[in-house]
Structure 1
Amino acid sequence: MSDTMTLYQELADRLRTANVAESVTTLVLAAFQGDNTLAAVLRGELLPTLPAAAAATDDGPQVFLESVEATGFRGIGPRTALRLQPGPGLTVVAGRNGSAKSSLAESIEYALTEDSPRWAQRPATFRDGWRNLHHVGDREIAVRLRLGTGQSVTVRRSWAAGVTDLAAATVSVAQSGVTLPTGNLPAWAGPEDRHRPFLSARDLERVVTAKPAELYDAIAPILGLAPLTAADARLQARRKEHDDRVTALKAAFNELHSRLGTLDDPRAEEATRLLGRQAGRAKLPELAELAGGADAGVDAEAASAARRLAEHGLPDLGGTVDELAEAEAALRKLAGTEAAIAYRMADLLWGALEVHRDLGDQACPVCQVGVLDTGWREGAEEELARLRTATEAVRTAKGRHETQLKRAEGQLEDVRKIIEPALGALSAQLPQQCAAVEVALASLTLDEASWDAFVTAHAGLHAAAAEWLARRHDAWQEPGAALRRWVEDATVVQARADELALLTTARRELGTVMDRMRADRFRVAAEQSEHIWQLLRQESNVGVGEIKLGGTNTRRRVEIPVSVDGSDETSALAVMSQGELHAFGLALFLPRACSEASPYRFVVIDDPVQSMDPSKVDGLAEVLREVALTRQVVVFTHDDRLPEAIRRLGVEADIREVTRREGSIVEVRKNLWPARRYLEDARAVAVAGDIPDHSKRLMVAGFCRSAMEATAMDRYRAEQYAAGTPQHEIDAALNAAHSVQDRLTLGVFGDPGRRGQLYGYLNRLGVPRAVDTVQAVAKAVHGQCDMATADMVASTEALVRRLR
């Protein structure tokens, strides 16, 4: 099963084991799968089921470093090759500063990762100076890797002669001699960031210079929890959308409050009341209605009255008054005519008939002489019928007048019902116009003149009310729109409050699981770091406790508890020396490079000895011996103390020496035992034909003396180290021995006070002319040497062989 699928399954199992709510678990797993899945689940869709990954058929490749070839890159001019044995073991590449040994280390790193911490966060000149000034023509780096299966992979980066941009290299990858398509890499390639097999001096400096988060980021990839970090980032991004919306809503809430407070408008007062003091408690439905133009307070009554004035016109009372006047004129015209008199008589007779119908026969109530009886009734009814026919015109005119009068009085009442409430509502806003209408209304009768006066006053009020409404609408338009926008945003925030709570819980639960998984996975690496520190610390009084990765986001950090002489301290930086910090950096980063999950079975370490005291160098040799049992370890160093410690401690290692000659010609050769190297140099000088004889003798004597002293010093260090002598005492004794005799005495007896016994000891060794040779190389320091070079070399070789 792939690492990602394994991690996904572990995450799901841990969430369910912790009894996390199913909705939260689903959301966390959706975030693990990606942004699209997270968005879909938040929309209510089901969580997709990931297809089960096929189980791996093998444990993955084991990649070793076989060679690096560089041309025209940094300190390397003509083509230079470093060939290695691709398998577990220790290789030390030594060379003085400026010998281009670091250029070889950088060549490996850049070819495989296209970067180097040596250039990171430094001026551009560190990157721009990659082209060797002594080389013209094409430039190239080729790194050959060997897989445990026997297959080879060559990564090649090349630049044409005129190319100055480091990133413009042509990259090719060949597997077992077959060039892969451009952009294709072997399936195992790529995890350099997670299991970066390179430890540069820059890496080790991070312990001193890096910020807590940077140090965390340099170590955390080893845990393989990057997909969880990505899932958390997705949840955080979604949650931030909500948080930003809430933050913006609160800011707009405060701004809206301030804006409404400056308005002299009852609606603003009502909106302020409905908003309340907290955005989360605002009354959104009422605010939405108000934002849409609803009225509020006393002003609302006036606005309503003004709208009624605009919506309802006056009755056509003028036409009614005209018709009433015509009806009255018609009645006046009939007054005094026989028809009018007959109409009155018919009314009188009709009244008498009504009395007889209700009361029966009786004396006439008018004259008190006649009798209202049945006979009278019959005659009266005949007369009434005649009179009605004769008075039809009068009756019609009178009916028309009565109808017009009722109609006019009704319309006048309607006018009063419309106008009187409007006057009360608008009197504060439009006092002048309302007063004019009120006067006209009080004088209004059923005549044309009063009606015309009223219509004129009403028109003035109507126009003023319309203008007031327009001003009122314009004044509220922007505040109302702002209020409406805020209500819309608040409605969205309110509707998605549950989603925000779910995201918050999901992040918290994922964080809890991540903390536990991180602690469980880092425990192995932390134990390795503590073990390495125990080997490196040697005589240090600084102890390191359980190292932990802590915090999240911007607070992420590496927790390094330390103690000094058993007393706890809070900060490693406060108590460790520069050398201790570099040693601790090695302890911290080496487990990352040597993780069992890494396909890289090699680790390249550049300049690890910086600022280390001799005891730490011995500890480093022991660490390298241990790591080299299962890993291919390639160490680049300018410090001779590491090769010396390796030889003295009997650490099995392949030691190479890098030299750089004029024109950036770099050579890599086998680094011999120092005495043997000095002797080879002495032989080379002895047979040289272009050196004067006297000078040749002095030069050979110098090489022979160095061979003797190196042998004696190595012997003294080894014996004292085995006896448990503190390193500083060993160094002090060696520094106090200035002559070749003093150093031979230390190497032979371990006691500088026994120098008088040295020559006797040398005579007993059976080495021909041993004492003569020692004396000869000692005199050569003062420019005197009479001993033949061939004899001197032969005697020195025999002597150092016996002293080893």
Structure 2
Amino acid sequence: MTRLRIKKLRVAGFRSFGQAHQVAEPADTISVFWGGNSQGKTSLAEALEFLLTGQIARRELLAGAKDEFADSLRNAHIGEHGLVVVEAEMLATDGKTYSVKRTLTEDYKRGGAAGCISNLEIDGAAANEDELSSRLGIVFFPAPLRAPVLSQHSLGFLFSSSPGERAAYFRAVLDTQELEDFRQGVAALPNQLQAPTSQELDDLDAVEASGSFDALFSKLLKAKSRVGIGKVVTEAISALLTSLGLTPSSDLVEMIQQLRTALEQRRSVVFPMQLFARKPFSPWQGAAKTLPQLITSFVTERAKSDSEAHKLMSLFEAALALPHVHDAHNPIDCPLCASKSTLTPERVAWITEQVRANSAYQTAHDELSAAMSSTKAQVATTDQLANLAVPGLVTRSPAERHRVGFSVKALSALVRDDALVRDWFADVRSLWRAWKSVVAAAETLVSEVQLFQTDALGWVRQAEFVAATVALETRQKDFVKALASFEGPDRRIELALKREIDAASAVAGWDALCRLTEDIEGLEHALIQRNRFAAECKAVDKAIADIEKGIGVVIDQKFIALSGEVRRWWDLLRPEEATYFDTVQRRSAKAKRMIDLRAGLSLKDDKSDPKFRDAVAVFSQSQLHCLGLAMFLARATTEGAGFIVLDDPVLTSDDDYRPNFASSVIEALLADGIQVLVLTQDYGTAKDIGTRWAHAGSAHFDLVRNDPLTGSEIRNKDDDLAGGQLHGPILPPLRSARLWHQPG
């Protein structure tokens, strides 16, 4: 497979470069770019970084605030519309040459944390960073130093980074991020286990948390059957009652009631909790759907019937029951009053019609009366249920509440949460208003029914009855809403009260124990659920521990391999030193996200019997610089980089290992098939590398910036016409515009 190579590089408008395209054709082996301070070396290195990643790492590493890099990529002298472009022709791993071009469209902005914006093209077509890897084979390093470009400001990144940043960096270097993601996923499993929930489990927790039933709890966990569980709780309640000076009943139900009575007595001494007692509300389902039709039928039949005739109905029925009355064709004497010839056939027919009409009226009356009675009974029940659905403190008068020791002040002193008390009290007032309204509506409807029952013949309040029915239904809905709103605050304040009261009266866990004992089957099921969930959690914890251990072994092996590669470059740079780089490692099995760079300190030339310390603490600046370079080179070779860019890799003042870099290090890099671009301000280093590696086809370039508007220029020293001289450095950059324009 072909190794990735930069064949040609073009830069315009980027940082110190002017609008004229500057071109360089690096050698496939090693190329040296020499330039004094502020001539454009770092700009050239960051131009390659920008080409590959669209950003520069220096903004992430050095900026106290990212706003400091606002408008820093575009040359300040070319104007906001000047073209900023970096382009390279690259020989890819597939053996083909591609043109890669990135154009800046928006520079870094103040307040813009996301970075700059640019367009990437491959062979003139829009592309993305992933295609640089998939099509060209470019290897990206772990963030923040993603491009194979090393500069002075990035050398010390690992030594100044936080523990978390260092750990994240090495996870990426060692390709263990997937292992870390897997570890974190497994570590999150305990939180994803769905703990069973039930009142019985809550009660078990309450009994355990009370601290008063330790012996009971341990026995419950060991009980093997429902009978055994019942025996354990029965013994516990019996012992508790005995300790209270009570004689336990032989009946379990009565024994539970004994404990409840003792519990309420103790609680009431501290605070009248009985005033919070309430029962579920069962709403009235409304009047029967047939009631409107029954009212209509009743009114209709009553209109057909003669009201005076109703009073004589028994006489009429008696008369019609006499023999020969229906057969008489002529007037006959009235059998009731003995009047002569007064009972005519016409009169008999009228009486018959009145009896028939009264029968229809009576049927309608009886049906409506039954419906009214049912409605009255239902509404009366609703009234009673409404009274029971609100706490006793709502139905009691202020005097009654104070008499048993209830006051908001006493409540607040126990709860010690003013916001909760305010919310609860506001809901109490709303509930009181809703309760009063529904009770009043119920009483009104009952009153309307009673008016009908008192005088059905004279009843004309049909509209008022219907309105009272609608009113009760509406008020009842409001009451149900008020109860729902009250539910949460009431539950919270009741729990807070019971917690404080139970602690003050030494009854913690009693209530829960009573409920558990009342339902042994439910208690047994809760114990089974609890034990099963505990076993699941234990199994997950063991799995996590095993996975942690396995990942640790894998990571340690990878660290050993990486450390060997770093030592290889360290030994090439600084051979035969008694103080040396030893290893990269996890601080410990427990501190798995703390990564240490360890140095060996020996008194002997053979490095025997060393003492180990943290390299950051004991290495000199020169040694740290060397370690940073060694780690960069180890990363480049390990990840198979096709080329690297080194911006002043050797300190100018460090003559001790500069020759080693120019010889041994470059020799090893070339042997590994890596194209090397060195940018340096030290002319001696540039000359040394050029001389040593001329046989390998090295290339030599100068960077000059004689005019800020023209910007940095790349000059090929191997080109007689462009470079102007074959031996020695170019003239130092002229700082005076007046001198620059003088003839000669």
- Structure 2 length as normaliser, TM-score? 0.50
Larger Rg: 1
Give the number of the structure whose residues are more often helix, by fraction. Answer: 1
Higher RCO (CA 8 Å, separation ≥ 6 residues): 2
